[in-house]
Amino acid sequence: MNWQSITFDWNQARAFLVTAEEGSLSAAARALGLTQPTLSRQVAALEESLGVTLFERVAKSLILTEAGVELAEHVRAMGEAASRVSLSASGQSQQIEGLVTISTTDVLAVYILPEILKGLRKKAPAVEVKILCTNSLSDLRRREADIAIRHVEPDHPDLYARKIMDMSARVYAAASYLERNGGRPAKADADKLDYIGFDNNQELVEYLSAFGLKIKESNVKLGSPSGLISWEYARQGLGLCIMADAIAAKCPEVKPAFDNMEPVYFPIWLVTHRELHTSRRIRLVFDHLAEHLRHS
């Protein structure tokens, strides 16, 4: 390899790639934790060193030139290689200190994780934990998180997963809501009540059918992509909501909305990258979560 032919700076190439991926200098600067002028200078320096124009500035938008499109493909491959190097280095780390990012839902983060994290802090006080709350699947291969708590089994060979348990769930309502509506209803009267959704109302209607509840989308009067917000609305007496029994048990103001209703079950998976699973730091956090989630 002709090492002298490699003349560009990786930080400049990364600045270009993130700008291309994010679509603007401001968004790229936020993603990298840089100021916009600093990022702009890095992209301009790369253009100068390569002798090509990578972006056309149209009003407030940046459009990749033909040279920019071609270069982005190469730099993207470099970025993926750099990510693999970072993963490998993290996996070789044997010190039980440093940052571990955990991806989970906001409801689990608020109601289940605090007690577990108290124990982790005693066990490994030098480990810093960052909680990433999202209802979508974090891309562990791109290091969006080190560990994810999911309801879905991963299907990629680079990921290591352990099924922790099956959690039970029921339909709950605040006691105040039930009192205003004549007490606990029969299943046949399910369509006379208001429901609180999480995101997709049609999916909620289909999911509730697993409980034997026949409702329409018009019954879903309120909802939020945030499970925590939807659950809080249910606790405040605004309607019925599906929730894990372990979480509802922590909220004395709610009760199962229907008598003698069998729960449904959903899995809890703990997932990490295979290489990260060899890191003592991440392995310790992974095993601590696995042990204590079972008893939540």
Beta bridge partners of 31: none
Backbone angles phi, psi at 91, to 5 degrees: -65, -30
pLDDT of 116: 95
Half-sphere exposure of 202 (CA within 13 A, CB side): 0
**58 touches 88 (CB < 8 A):** no
Helix axis angle, 25-32 to 36-50, nearest 10°: 110
Question: What is residue 4's predicted lDDT score, i.e. its pLDDT?
Answer: 44
pLDDT for res 172: 96
* Predicted local distance difference test score (pLDDT) of residue 178: 94
Contact between 289 and 270 under an 8 Å Cβ cutoff? The reply is yes
Q: For position 135, what pLDDT does the model report?
A: 63
Backbone angles phi, psi at 66, to 5 degrees: -60, -40
Specify the pLDDT at position 289. 94
Per-residue model confidence as pLDDT tens for the chain (296 residues)? 443 445 567 788 888 888 888 878 888 888 888 888 888 888 888 888 888 888 887 766 778 888 888 888 888 777 666 666 565 555 555 557 888 999 999 999 999 999 999 999 999 999 999 998 876 544 544 557 889 998 888 777 778 889 999 999 999 999 999 999 988 888 888 999 999 988 788 888 888 888 888 888 899 989 898 999 999 999 999 999 999 999 999 999 999 999 878 888 999 999 988 766 667 888 899 999 999 998 77
Q: How many CB atoms lie within 10 A of CB 136?
A: 8
Residue 174, pLDDT score: 96
**262: CB partners within 8 A, 6+ apart:** none
| Residue 128, phi then psi, degrees to nearest 5 | -95, 130
